[in-house]
Structure 1
Amino acid sequence: MSRPGAFVVVGAGPGLGASAAARFARAGYPVGLISRNAETLRQLSADLGSTGATTDFETADVTDELALSTALELLRARLGPIEAVLFSPRPSLGWIKPVVDTTPSDLENALALSVQAAASVVRAVVPDMRQRRSGSLLFTNGGAAVEPHRDRAVSGVAYAAESAYVRMLHDTVAADGVYAAQLTVVGPIGPGAKHAPEAVAEALWRMHTTREQALLVLR
């Protein structure tokens, strides 16, 4: 039996990214990790490797299109075709401001992270997925996508834009055998929080394997 294609986490961190990587690794997927923090990536990769998983990582600022596309290409060269991508970069806490205090540069930075970086990933991996007629593009964001709040304006704007982008992407690539979907998590994710990272990772796994929904909201 052939090995599954790779699972790549864009914006990998010790919370949801690590749990999703572990879930796909248990199913036999080689795992690639991308973020700006090399030390975090080394630790995550070591933790996965200790379970017997095949894993590798590349550092990149996900808002740098060339750096991100290069990282994805290097991981594809070492791990094999990319079968699934999780796009889950963490926004800056400094962007959390009331709507009237939100600056144009706040919005520019948030859209660069949530939408432009998402488009960079898609441009890098979708051509091969379409050629193989196989692959999943999974995107996560927070409750502001469905319940925008005046005191967290940047998240409401950026997440709504990301959700619209993913919906259009889903409608475009489905006919080519590629699955694109958004998972919106309302409430905090973490140990002892409303949503356990492992439970959210399991939801992502179900989305990838069933390919039934363009949007899943966890409340």
Structure 2
Amino acid sequence: MRNLSGKTVIVTGGGGGIGGAASRRFAEEGAKVAVFDMNLDAAQKVADAIREAGGTARAYRCDITNRADVDAAVAAAGAELGSIDVLVNNAGWDIFKPFVKTIPAEWDKLIAINLTGALHMLHAVLPGMAERKSGRIVNVASDAARGGSSGEAVYSACKGGLVALSKTLAREHARQGITVNVVCPGPTDTALLAGVAEGARDPAKLLEAFRSAIPLGRLGQPDDLASAIAFFGSDDAGFITGQVISVSGGLTMHG
């Protein structure tokens, strides 16, 4: 990937499956990675693995639903690793229930993590990028935002909002040299998917249904997503903004 060496990258949810894979991929490309996660131990494991492999990374505990937490973590990452060049909004959470069986407290948590958290991160990072007239934003949404997904109504709504937000910010900040793009995972072999499956009547049957529906015949792996995320964060995607790409093994083929 062009021009990632020496760049400072924040990855939220960096201690998890997709976030960890993205953090490692950016580090392999020579970037300095700020691994943000509510679970500091998980973030530290990713950062330690990156450093052991010869890369540069630091772990930061960050609750993206708390603006004070976000501001403090972004300031610390900037002071220790340098001005933020790339922001990957990857952190997410989901439950698997029919909408009428959900409760408002669950809506609040889904919205806080999947949409408001990204708003906090964007609001904290974008002013610096705008001042420097350079930056890459990669928002990780979901194919549930593009085609719907039974049992994920509020999650889908949040991710749909993130897609619309990304397109608007891409327009607002294009003249400042900032690109904003979206990666939409299909079913991916992560702890989040396992947690979603646990809410189903037959988790094993649900996962097998996902596999059999995917034309390429398998669930996505975190590294599959990391490649697309790193591409959008690099100068190879310098003339691409406001775009949405599905990484789903062909499960969705949106035009």
Superposed pair shares fold, TM > 0.5: yes
1:2 Cα deviation after fit: 11
1:19 Cα deviation after fit: 1.2
The residue type paired with residue 208 of structure 1 is G
State how far apart, in whole Å, the 2-side matches of 1:75 and 1:150 are: 38
State how far apart, in whole Å, the 1-side matches of 2:47 and 2:6 are: 18
Aligned-residue CA RMSD in angstroms? 2.1
Which one is further off, 107-116 or 206-215? 206-215
CA change 1:195–1:42 in 2 (3 A) is same
The residue type paired with residue 171 of structure 2 is D
CA change 1:183–1:2 in 2 (3 A) is closer
* Structure 1 unmatched runs, 5+: none
4+ residue runs over 3 A deviation: none
Match of 2:59 among 57, 60, 70: 57
State how far apart, in whole Å, the 1-side matches of 2:83 and 2:54 are: 20
Query: 3-state DSSP class of the match of 1:74?
Result: helix
CA change 1:2–1:103 in 2 (3 A) is closer
Q: Is the Cα contact below 8 Å between 1:19 and 1:201 reproduced in 2? A: yes
The answer for the alignment partner of 1:218 in structure 2 is 247
The answer for the alignment partner of 1:134 in structure 2 is 134
The answer for the alignment partner of 2:69 in structure 1 is 67
The answer for the alignment partner of 1:84 in structure 2 is 86
The answer for the alignment partner of 1:198 in structure 2 is 223
1:174 Cα deviation after fit: 1.2
1:180 Cα deviation after fit: 0.9
- TM-score, length basis structure 1: 0.91
Q: Is the Cα contact below 8 Å between 2:4 and 2:31 reproduced in 1? A: no
* Structure 2 unmatched runs, 5+: 191-210, 212-217, 249-255
CA change 1:166–1:188 in 2 (3 A) is same
The answer for the alignment partner of 1:99 in structure 2 is 99
Q: Is the Cα contact below 8 Å between 1:102 and 1:153 reproduced in 2? A: no
Q: Is the Cα contact below 8 Å between 2:188 and 2:222 reproduced in 1? A: no
The answer for the alignment partner of 2:187 in structure 1 is 187
State how far apart, in whole Å, the 2-side matches of 1:27 and 1:150 are: 38
Name the % identity: 21
1:150 Cα deviation after fit: 3.4
State how far apart, in whole Å, the 2-side matches of 1:104 and 1:163 are: 23
State how far apart, in whole Å, the 2-side matches of 1:76 and 1:195 are: 32
Q: Is the Cα contact below 8 Å between 2:5 and 2:29 reproduced in 1? A: no
Which structure is larger by alpha-carbon Rg, 1 or 2? 2
The answer for the alignment partner of 1:123 in structure 2 is 123
CA change 1:188–1:76 in 2 (3 A) is same
